[in-house]
Structure 1
Amino acid sequence: MKKSGLSVKVMTIAASLMLAAGAMSAHAQERKPCIGFSGAFTGAAAFSGLAVEMGAEVAIDEINAKGGVLGQKLSLVKYDDAGQPPKGVDNTRRVAMANNCIAILGGYHSGVALAQREAVEQIGIPYIGAFAAGTKIIEPDTGVNNWMFRVSAKDRWVAAYLSDVALAHSPGKKVAIFYENTGWGNGAAPDVKAALEARGVKPVAMETFNWGDQDMTAQLMRARDAGAEAIVMFGLDREGNQILRGMDKLNYKPAIASAWGLAGNLGELAGPLANGVFVFQTFSWMGKQDAKTAAVYDALAKKYKLKAPADLKAGSGTANAYDAIHILAKAIEAAGSFDRVKVRDALFNVQHRGLVANYAPAFGKSAEKHDAIQTKDYKLTAWHNGVLLPKDQTPYK
Structure 2
Amino acid sequence: MLPHFLRVLFGALAASALVAHAAAEAPPVLIGLDAEFGHKTSTSAQAIQQGIEIAIEEINAAGGVLGGRRLALVMRDNRSIPAIGVDNLRELAAMPDLVGVFGGKFSPVILEWLPVAQELGVLILDPWGSADPITEHKYGPSYSFRLSLKDSWAAPVMLNFARQQRGARRVGILLPNTGWGRSNRNALAAAAPAAGVGIAGERWYNWGDQSLLEQYRELRAAGAQAIVLVANETEGSLLVREVAALPQGERVPIISHWGVTGGAFAEMSGGALDQVDFAVVQTFSFIGLDTPIAKRVLAALKTRYGIAGAEQVRAPVGVAHAYDLTHLLARAITRAGSTDRARVRDALEQLPAYKGLVRNYDRPFAPNRHDALSPEQVFMARYTAQDVLVPLIPARPDRR
Please give the TM-score of this superposition, normalised by the length of structure 1.
Answer: 0.86
2:90 is paired with a residue whose SS is helix
Q: RMSD of aligned C-alpha atoms?
A: 1.9
Query: What's the counterpart of residue 355 of structure 1?
Result: 357
Aligned to 1:81: 78
Contact 2:298–2:309 (Cα < 8 Å) also in 1: no
Moved more, 153-162 or 57-66: 153-162
Residues 20-56 of structure 1: per-residue CA shift (max 9 Å, x gap)? xxxxxxxxxx995011111010114531110100000
1:329 maps to amino acid? A
What is the identity, as a one-letter code, of the residue corresponding to 1:364? A
Q: 1:374 to 1:45 in 2, by over 3 A?
A: farther
1:267 corresponds to 2:266 = yes
- TM-aligned CA distance change 1:304 to 1:272, over 3 Å: same
Query: Which residue type is aligned with residue 257 of structure 1?
Result: I
Find the partner of 2:254 among 253, 256, 261.
Answer: 256
**2:95 aligned residue:** 98
Structure 2 CA distance for partners of 1:44 and 1:207, relative to 1, 3 Å: farther
Contact 1:44 1:238 (8 Å CA) reproduced: no
How far off is 1:253 after superposition? 2.2
Contact 1:139 1:145 in 2 (8 A): no
Matched, 1:377 2:373: no
Task: Determine the C-alpha separation between the residues in 1 that align with 2:243 and 2:296.
Answer: 41
TM superposition shift of 1:309:
3.1
In structure 2, how many angstroms separate the alpha carbons of the residues matched to 1:108 and 1:287?
A: 25
Q: Select the residue among 159, 165, 175 that pairs with 1:163.
A: 159
Amino acid at match of 1:73: R
Identical columns (%): 34
How far did residue 254 of structure 1 move? 1.5
2:36 is equivalent to residue 40 of structure 1:
yes
Distance verdict in 2 for CA 1:342–1:145, change over 3 Å: closer
Partner of residue 313, structure 1: 314
Deviations 1:130-178 (A, max 9, x none): 11011011112x3645211101111111112211112224435011111
**What are the ranges of 5 or more consecutive residues in structure 2 without an aligned counterpart?**
1-25, 396-400
Indicate if the aligned counterparts of 2:168 and 2:197 stay in contact, CA closer than 8 A: no
Q: Could you tell me how far apart the structure 1 residues matched to 2:244 and 2:42 are?
A: 27
Matches within 5 A, 1:113-192: 113-140=110-137, 142=138, 144=140, 146-192=142-188
Contact 1:152–1:320, Cα closer than 8 Å, also in 2: yes
Q: Deviations over 1:350-370 (max 9, x none)?
A: 22111111111110111xx21
Tell me which amino acid in the other structure corresponds to 1:271: G
Q: Measure the CA separation in 2 of the matches of 1:349 and 1:375.
A: 22
- Asked whether the equivalents of residues 41 and 82 of structure 1 are also in contact (C-alpha less than 8 Å), the reply is yes
| Structure 1 residue matching 2:373: 3-state secondary structure | coil
1:235 to 231, 234, 241: 231
Residue 198 (structure 2) aligns with: 202
AA in 1 matched with 2:323: Y
Partner-residue secondary structure (3-state), 1:316? helix
Cα separation, 1, equivalents of 2:139 and 2:155: 21
Residue in structure 2 matched with residue 302 of structure 1 by the alignment = 303
| 3-state SS of 1:35 partner | strand
Amino acid in the other structure paired with 2:178: T
Counterparts of 1:120 and 1:31 in 2: how far apart (Å)?
24
- The residue aligned with 1:20 is none
Letter in 2 for 1:94: E
Q: How far off is 1:387 after superposition?
A: 1.7
The change in CA–CA distance for 1:257 and 1:331 in structure 2 (over 3 A counts) is: same
CA deviation map 1:239-296 (0-9, x unaligned):
1111112212333221222111121322211124324421111111224533320211
For the 8 Å contact 1:220–1:246, the answer to whether it is kept is no
Alignment CA distance shift 1:390-1:200 (3 Å): closer
Aligned partner of 2:360: which letter?
N
Conserved? CA contact 1:169–1:229, under 8 Å: no
- Determine the C-alpha separation between the residues in 2 that align with 1:58 and 1:99: 23
TM-score, structure 2 normalization: 0.86
Deviation of 1:217 (Å): 1.4
Corresponding residue pairs, total? 362
Instruction: Tell me which residue corresponds to 2:21.
Output: none
Gaps of 5+ in 1: 1-29
The counterpart of 2:367, out of the listed 365, 376, 385, is: 365
